Amino acid sequence: MMKERERNQRILPLGVSSLSWFFRLRLFSAVSQLALIGCSVFFLDVALPLIPLVMLVALIPLSQLLVNIFHSRLSDERILGASLLLFDTLILTSILSFSGGAANPFSIVYFLHVVLSALLLGKKWTWFLAGVTVVCFGMLFLEGGHAGHSHMGHGNYSIHLAGMFFSYCLVVLMSAYFLGKIIDELRTKEARLYELESKQNALLSMTALSANAAHELSTPLATIELVAHELQSGDLQEAQEDLALLKQEAQRCKQILSEICSQSGTPKLEPSESLRMIDIKTALLNSMPVIGDSVIWEISSEDLMLTLPIRSLVIALKSLIQNALDATSLEQPPVKVTLDVLGNTL
């Protein structure tokens, strides 16, 4: 259960960077609310308490400014997102209470907060915020006046508002349930894709390692075969050196096989690291010290920074270079290795 939870958090991270679009949405909502208040007061001649409404809306960018200043000190970004949504819900309730109460058509924005909670926070917080919006919306019905709105006659007015409240409760609770189900299903699918990608990368790494091991094993095995043939036809007194060589080559084979076994036990995705183009050449020379002058290097930009899994890359390139060296005779020109970047491809 713990591993599943950690994997879901890796797939759908909730950090300040992933909340950045939510921060922008809050600022956009504040600007939109100010524009709506201005249009209602100055163009539609709706009687609204302008100063209290502007002060309430101004609390949204002010809270965002405080978040931008102190977000590095916040250890739990999930709590941050929940706190901001709860704060925005209370601000919306206060704005609605000054501008028509439950009769204000923009009370539907409560539902947007529930949807954002489902996207950002998960099921528990979604249910919590759905309950908070129901309570806040219900409190608006307890207010006596609805300034700025004449909404039908008094007879059908209360019935209409009661229908609005119960329909909102039904819609928001059903949405919280189904959104939670849908997001859980998406997380499960992304977790499977992440797992499949990890296995594919591990398989590619093992394939490169196996190809390299085949080249590594071919030399000592050929030596063992040659020495065994010599021992069959030679003098036992002169066979001591051959036996020592045979033992040495057998140990080389054992070491290579041990490396394969250690890699295949628990395949892990090799992390990428930043390095220069010249570092790839250095790593190859360290892993193939005997090539000497058999290889000519041509590097387009030695100081060009790349981000890649160096160990897997060295194994793959080492096999290619060894293939070229095996196919080249002493009379032929040296093998030429060119390192260049074309787009996103090395």
Per-residue pLDDT of the chain (346 residues; tens, 9 = 90+): 444 444 444 444 444 446 788 889 999 999 999 999 999 889 888 888 999 999 999 999 999 999 888 876 766 778 888 999 999 999 999 999 998 888 888 888 999 999 999 888 888 889 999 999 999 998 988 875 444 444 444 546 677 777 888 888 999 989 888 988 888 888 888 888 888 888 888 777 777 777 677 667 766 777 776 766 666 666 666 666 766 777 777 777 766 666 665 555 544 555 678 888 888 888 888 877 667 677 888 888 888 888 887 777 787 787 778 777 777 776 777 888 888 887 777 7
DSSP 43: T
Report in angstroms the alpha-carbon separations of 154 from 105, 151, 160: 18, 8, 10
| pTM, rounded to two decimals | 0.56
- 245-251: long-range contacts (C-beta < 8 A, 24 or more apart)? 249/220, 249/221, 249/223, 249/224, 250/220, 250/224
Look at strands 305-308 and 273-276 and give their pairing.
Answer: antiparallel
AA identity, residue 18: S
Q: What is the 3-state secondary structure (H, E, C) of 264-292?
A: HHCCCCCCCEEEEHHHHHHHHHHHCCCCH
Residue 265 amino acid letter: G
For the chain, list the domains and their CATH numbers: 17-145 (no CATH), 271-346 (3.30.565.10)
Q: In angstroms, how far is CA 81 from the centroid of its own chain?
A: 18
Taking alpha carbons only, the member of 192, 205, 343 closest to residue 272 is 205
pLDDT at site 156: 61
Per-residue model confidence (pLDDT) at position 19: 78
Instruction: Identify any residues that bridge with 307 across adjacent strands, giving them in sequence order.
Output: 274
List the one residue out of 99, 180, 201, 111 whose CA is nearest residue 140. Answer: 99
| Cα torsion through 327, 329, 331, 336, rounded to 10 | 40
Please give the backbone phi and psi of residue 146, each rounded to the nearest 5 degrees, phi first: -130, 80
pLDDT value of residue 186: 85
What does the pLDDT read at residue 198? 82
Sign for the CA dihedral angle at 119, 124, 125, 129 comes to positive
Per-residue model confidence (pLDDT) at position 7 = 46
Q: H or E element: which one contains 131?
A: helix 123-141
* Predicted local distance difference test score (pLDDT) of residue 14: 46
Count CA atoms within 13 Å of residue 208 on its CB side. Answer: 18
Q: Do 277 and 310 contact (CB within 8 A), yes or no?
A: no
CA 110 to chain centre: 29
In angstroms, the Cα distances linking 112 to 61, 175, 291 are 18, 11, 65
Q: Distance between CA atoms of 231 and 229, rounded to whole angstroms?
A: 5
